[in-house]
Amino acid sequence: MALATAPSPARHPIRPPVDPRPAARRRRRRTAGVAALIVAASLAYDRAGLFLVPLLFVLIVPFEKRFPRHPEQKLRRPQLGTDLGYVLAQPATTFIGALVLVPVGLVSLAWLPGLAVRPLVVMMPLWLQVVLGFLAFDLIIYWAHRWSHEIPFLWRFHAVHHSTETLDWVSGFRNHPFDGAIIAPPVVFLLAAGFPLEFTGIVAFLQIATGLFLHANVRWRLRPLHRIVITPEFHHWHHANDPEAINSNYSVFLPAWDLFFRTYFMPADRRPEVYGIDEPMAPGMVGHFLHPFRGIRSDWWRLPFRAIRHPWRAIRALGRGLRHLAEEIRRVGWRRPAAMDRSAEPVDRQPTRVDPLVEGLAEGHRGATTSRTRGGLDAGAALADAPHEPGVVGVGPEHHRPVG
């Protein structure tokens, strides 16, 4: 009698490893196509970018060639196309940024002290209004700029600007559309305080125009001006990926604020050499735009629609987020950043601290709904379920590490 034999295990054919390169190429083509559509839509709305590129080239590049800070840096350097795309897309990114400019200005509450001092401002002569308005603008934007570095949630957006590893005539245009909201608090304050609208517009324009010059690849040190007005050397140290330069040189006009709040860094024996950040960031304009939303559930784009369906829950979630943001601002306080304090412990190279604003949105929402299909703005669940990445949740490894 034949013995029953166990069936032989089914043999699955060995599949060759999948080559990831075609998928990567398709992904690059998709993002390049989206970026091209953004630029095309921007140029269809306003062709100013077509004139701005040659204008900047004529005004700045000759100085970069005659007085180069980094002589080895070529005009056709890596990611030049990305930064030129930012220039051409300025009308579109400005429009997108304007959508959050007004809400940020209102939420910042900068209009409250503005209204408080308005009776005094309207009694001042015009020259005094100009002087005090300029100082107030510079002081407020100093703190707004500082918070965008030292508060993890705000750094998510500002990191795009600091991701450039080459400073030159066009790198200053690399900004996330929502990062431009940094200018909202000082503008709202000046308008609420009764400063002339024309003056407010001129100061805001000067801040943007000066920033383009400060990024130029020029070797001028201008030592006598170091403590009077900001210079390219001052701002290059701000962009430097150097442990001693982290969280320094926030001023946009007058270094006096950095001197007073002890964030001034201008060593006499060396110059900035390396720029950029250590945290990973996808290349290209589209990758930059999506960077702040990394670590959030893939359907984050549905949150605004859920907010419309359930506005009360949206308001409560926003309130928790703003409360934690206020706690972060209070945490920064008047202290000298840890990276600037030579007596402090070294800055951790791999921060694991969770973004308090994201955590604030997550609080309460974890138990507010039992499923993702019930309840409207499930922002907390979306953020709580996110795979927080060490280089994204807080800030980049080593570079612009938040205090605390």
Q: For the chain, which residues make up each domain, given as ranges?
A: 46-260, 297-393
Burial class of residue 313 (count of CB atoms within 10 Å of its CB; 0-12, 13-18, 19+): buried
Q: What is the pTM of this model?
A: 0.76
β-strand partners of 275: 240
Rounded to 5 degrees, what angle do the CA atoms 191, 196, 197 make? 65
What pLDDT sits at residue 397? 36
Determine how many CB atoms are found less than 10 A away from the CB of residue 115.
12
Residue 305, pLDDT score:
75
Looking at residue 109, what is its pLDDT?
Answer: 83
Residues of the chain predicted below pLDDT 50: 342-354, 356-404
Give dist(CA 302, CA 103) in Å, integer. 20
- Model pLDDT, residue 32: 80
Rounded CA separation 351/100 (Å): 29
